[in-house]
Amino acid sequence: MLKEFFLAFIVSIDIYLAAAACCNSGVKIPFCSALVIDMFSSAVLFISIMLSDFISGFITSHTIHIIGTAVLITIGSLNIAKSILRSVIRYISEKDGISVKMGDLSVFVKLCLDDSAIDMDSSKVLSIGEAAVLALAGSLDAAATGLSCGGKGISAVGAAAAVFVCGAAALFFGGLTGKKISSLNHDFSWTGGMFLILFAVFSA
């Protein structure tokens, strides 16, 4: 179960950071909304691992590994680039007093810049619909990670269960430590990208 829990840890990093951002912005995540985020992440990883195992029956495991490694490194690099973009925008806003307006941007672009932007109705409570959108926007890592697992002997059920447990813990601790993390004035979303790249390299 070591690989399964490492996968769950990677997927849960984004869940933790999103919960921390919501906490810092005063957005509450009710139990039902938290359950939607957790279950969606588990389901995406389960389906993607099952799909990768199915695909591995038609192409060689070596090809699956190459494709999976390339996808993980790409997604990891994009996550790091997103983190750098967030840091640059924050730096410019603080230095020059520029207000970044996101009213006309799509929900997914807003979430790339600020996880707390998911509170679209400004109610300070994350509805089930908003939770579903947040889970969908953050599912790319889970899908890419799962699709890279074909032929590696990773249990889809075990990985999904591990994500459910780790995701619940991530939501809980994100809600507890959100203000403290945000007080550091740094964007930590690059850590998920870094772990994706490390997993791609060491599991190849």
pLDDT tens for each residue of 19-76: 887 877 788 889 999 999 999 989 998 998 888 878 877 877 677 778 777 877 888 8
Partner residues linked to 28 by β-bridges: 125
DSSP state, 114? -
- Give dist(CA 121, CA 24) in Å, integer: 17
Closest among 105, 123, 144, 170 to 26, alpha carbons compared: 123
Report residue 175's pLDDT band, with 50, 70 and 90 as the boundaries: confident
Number of Cβ within 10 Å of residue 137's Cβ equals 18
Q: What is the pTM of this model?
A: 0.76
The SS3 call for residue 186 is coil
Closest among 145, 160, 139 to 1, alpha carbons compared: 160
- Amino acid identity, residue 129? G
More confident site: 145 or 170:
170
pLDDT tens for each residue of 102-148: 444 444 455 555 555 566 667 888 888 888 887 887 777 778 777 77
Helix H or strand E encompassing 45: helix 31-55
How many Å separate Cα 153 from the centre of its chain? 23
Query: Can you give the pLDDT at residue 113?
Result: 55
CB 29 within 8 A of CB 119: no
More confident site: 165 or 113:
165
Closest among 162, 154, 144 to 73, alpha carbons compared: 144
Burial of 9 (C-beta count, 10 Å sphere; 0-12/13-18/19+): middle
Over 50: is that where the pLDDT of 98 sits?
Answer: no
